[in-house]
Structure 1
Amino acid sequence: MKSSVRAVLGLAGGALAGLALMAASASAQTIAITDGRILTGSGIIENGTVIIRDGRIAAVGASVPVPAGAEVISAAGRVVAPGFVAVDSGLGGNEVSSQPEANDLRQSSNSISAAFDLSWGLDPWSITLPVARLGGVTRAIVVPSHPGSSGGHDHNHDFAGLGASGHHEPGLFAGQAAVIHLAEGTEIIVQPRVAMVAPFGNAGANVAGGARGALYTLLRETFAEVRLYARNRAAYDRGDVRALSLSRADLEALVPVVEGRMPLIVTVHKANDILMALRIAREENIRLILDGAEEGWMVADQIAAANVPVLLNALANLPGSFERRASSLENAARLHAAGVLIAIKGNEGSVHRAREARYNAGNAVAHGLPYEAGIAALTVNPARIFGQQQRFGAIAPGLEADVVIWSGDPLEPLSQPVAIYIRGVAQPLYSRGLELRDRYRPGQQPGLPPAYRN
């Protein structure tokens, strides 16, 4: 079969290009994206070629031959990048922020906290997914919300107490995060239960009773109980173990954490709280991920020495609370310079504004973060932090083909995707918002009901 050639169209024809590419990918097992500026996630290849075969990256380089019979997509004058990974996100779990029934990121049971697995409630038909996808986001780390989280505050259960069942309410742990992809289809879960989530700082102290000392004491006691349970499951079943403060489901969920198999994401802001979190992780042998860390630049060397990654919002520069009084737009650059592995997240829980992560990365670059580090903070770094680097996060042979062709620099706000592939399948370049725009725009075509016409 003779190779066919399609030029990637400009922004005005982007939607038509997307539909054409979808049809092409459905019929072609091999796709060659040629002549683009390729951001691999770890470097830049000028005038390079990416070969996609059976949903994976088969080859990438400056002089890669195009296989016979491949569907050829010219990306001349364009930028080819890995799909972005939204971290600390609520995508698929929070549809309308003002409607509690549309929020599956939080729960208030007094017998389940760490065992809360939000992956069961994530919606593949969520209108938030196509919007994020149009910002180049192809994967997300979805996390449960809790008091103090960026995904939304839970003021109804900010303080500790014992619920009707005798268990601690609210739980110190918010639940378990999941990895999803944003491709069209009915199954978006990539991997559930990839990390445990808990609040630290003021929010964690309030949950524990109102003081940081209570939080750290409660954490240590909780980890001790989990280890006791893990060593004595049979005795626990017989009732020969002393009463424990957590339900069996929560104890089981925390076993991978205390055994170092599951990382613990702690939302923390203040430099001193960061040091306390590092100390607990060291003494309890816990794998830690810092979320927020607005004052992280003050203790960047200690974070780097502990080999602890950070999820951050690069725009956090105002002292919105006492915990964030030393926030700085240079936080990302200083942490990176110290050797900390960073991932840059979107705004307001990375749900409706998940696509803004690339703007935040652009601002971090403007304040000292190297450009390639800014791209890595959206792609390969999140994959590494959550153990997904063998699946996605870069344009490299063997990885799943999450590839976006951009009209220009993806860190520039005016640049837009002209083609999006997830697992090698071209995705539509539209969202519910664009559909509504086209339905109600002036001069709409005749034949629609009167309410749809101007």
Structure 2
Amino acid sequence: MIKRIFLSIVILLSFTSTLLRAQIAVRGETIHTMNGEPIQNGVILVSDEKIEAVGSADEIQIPNNYDVHEASVVTPGLIDAHTVVGLAGIYNLDSDQDQLDDSDPIQPQLRAIDAYNAREELVKFVLDKGVTTVHTGHGPGAIASGQTMIAKTPYQTVEEAVIDSATTVAFTLGSMVDRYFDSPGTRAKGVAMLRQTFIKAREYAEKRNSDDPPSKDLKMEALADILDGKLTAMITAHQSQDIMTALRLKEEFGFEMILDGAAEAYLLIDEIRDAGVPVFIHPTMVRTSGDTKNASFTTAAKLAEAGIPFAFQSGFESYVPKTRIILYEAAIAVANGLPREAALRAMTIQPAQLLNIEKRVGSIAVGKDADIVLFDGDPFEYTTHISTVIVDGKVVNENDSD
């Protein structure tokens, strides 16, 4: 008798689990799939965390048991190409600021995954604005501040959230380093320190692949992984001379590089394009002071016109709430000459490609993660609201108004 009751409970729980499995239909007046032309009067079917169908309403029949959500405009989940959320908290408190350690200007061994707080209020803040994936971690300010990672935003632990635990090592060139460290003090000294460290890392990389490897050195391991192509160097450089230095370092040591910030990139369009380097562009509305004093609203449009791959980032701000929203930054870029489709690509499929996660996110296609954002109007209009955010096939935010 007890066995029968137990078996009945197991069957009931299994049946209930099947019923609770996310089965969602999204119906949109315009669906920007990022895989070709937008679909007018389109439908997306979602099951088991993945997109199972996408096409016009004439082609796709919505099953009766699917939960239907409607919107004026539908896009893939937005991807913030570079942020520090999860390490930097929403308030100016020492206890929630782990994005920069000022004990040593060169610390590439610091891992973002060891500091990321999935429950941080700032993570929820960007999720509500449609950002479903973040490339986050140690921020600018040190010659080498540490590693970055990629995470989904709705989850409660880093283990649930993480897509890639080690993506880049964050470097900084320019006067920003002087704010936090007594040494190097000048640009030339900082680059000399970095170059010397890379020379040591090159020797370490050669030895670790030999029959007599050295004792493990976490700092050298991280830099050797850059030289071996296992990690990418993300170099924050805003002024033209710092951008050129970053390009020289890439050429000298032969590593893969993403140019970050690049406030004066418009002065070096040919050089950046010839180097084949993508750009995580500075937030369009960044405060124009210090190294970013010559930032421009039109940089995104000029990069797009030149065919240089770029993506929008929120970056790091020293004031509450300590981050920007890439949707707003993209809207200002659109108002200053960037085509709408290019702006959408620069916060969806383009960052996904640059971060090598395009097989999972960045576009609406069969088999990809069901990360979807629903708008009640043009995403780049100030009066538009995000009505629904779906991540991995689950509704994580639903509002009548923003």
TM-score (norm 2): 0.85
Contact residue 360 and residue 369 of structure 2 kept, 8 A: yes
For 2:252, the aligned partner's letter is E
Give the Å deviation of 1:108. Answer: 3.9
1:191 equivalent to 2:164? Answer yes
Q: Which residue of 2 aligns with 1:265?
A: 234
Q: Which residue of 1 aligns with 2:12?
A: none
1:33 equivalent to 2:5? Answer no
Distance 2:184 2:106 in 1: 19
Q: Which residue of 2 aligns with 1:167?
A: none
Written as runs of structure 1 = structure 2, the 5 A alignment for 1:170-181 is 172-181=143-152
Given candidates 301, 305, 308, the residue that maps to 1:340 is 308
1:306 equivalent to 2:286? Answer no
Distance 1:317 1:131 in 2: 19
Contact residue 40 and residue 395 of structure 1 kept, 8 A: yes
Q: Which residue of 2 aligns with 1:5?
A: none
Q: Which has the larger displacement, 350-359 or 275-284? A: 350-359
TM-score (norm 1): 0.76
Written as runs of structure 1 = structure 2, the 5 A alignment for 1:36-435 is 36-42=29-35, 43-62=37-56, 63-66=58-61, 68-75=63-70, 78-110=72-104, 113-147=107-141, 172-186=143-157, 187-204=160-177, 209-233=184-208, 235=212, 237=214, 248-316=217-285, 319-321=288-290, 323-346=291-314, 348-349=316-317, 352=321, 354=323, 356-429=325-398
Give the Å deviation of 1:117. Answer: 0.3
Judging changes above 3 Å, is the alpha-carbon distance between structure 1 residues 28 and 267 closer, same or farther for their aligned structure 2 residues? same
Contact residue 380 and residue 389 of structure 1 kept, 8 A: yes
Judging changes above 3 Å, is the alpha-carbon distance between structure 1 residues 110 and 317 closer, same or farther for their aligned structure 2 residues? closer
Distance 2:255 2:231 in 1: 9
**Aligned residues between the structures:** 376
Written as runs of structure 1 = structure 2, the 5 A alignment for 1:435-450 is none
Runs of 4+ in 1 over 6 A off after TM superposition: 23-26
Distance 2:153 2:360 in 1: 15
Distance 1:29 1:212 in 2: 53
Q: Which residue of 2 aligns with 1:18?
A: none
SS in 2 for 1:130: helix
Judging changes above 3 Å, is the alpha-carbon distance between structure 1 residues 35 and 311 closer, same or farther for their aligned structure 2 residues? closer
Unaligned runs of 5+ in 1: 1-22, 148-170, 239-246, 435-454
Judging changes above 3 Å, is the alpha-carbon distance between structure 1 residues 121 and 329 closer, same or farther for their aligned structure 2 residues? same
Distance 1:82 1:231 in 2: 43
Distance 2:237 2:311 in 1: 15
CA deviations over 1:380-432 (Å, ceiling 9, x no partner)? 111111111111111122211110111111222222221111011111348xx
Judging changes above 3 Å, is the alpha-carbon distance between structure 1 residues 146 and 317 closer, same or farther for their aligned structure 2 residues? closer
Contact residue 359 and residue 412 of structure 1 kept, 8 A: no
Unaligned runs of 5+ in 2: 1-15
Give the Å deviation of 1:251. Answer: 0.5
- Report % sequence identity: 27
Judging changes above 3 Å, is the alpha-carbon distance between structure 1 residues 27 and 259 closer, same or farther for their aligned structure 2 residues? same
Give the Å deviation of 1:216. Answer: 2.9
Give the Å deviation of 1:368. Answer: 0.6
Distance 1:129 1:25 in 2: 30
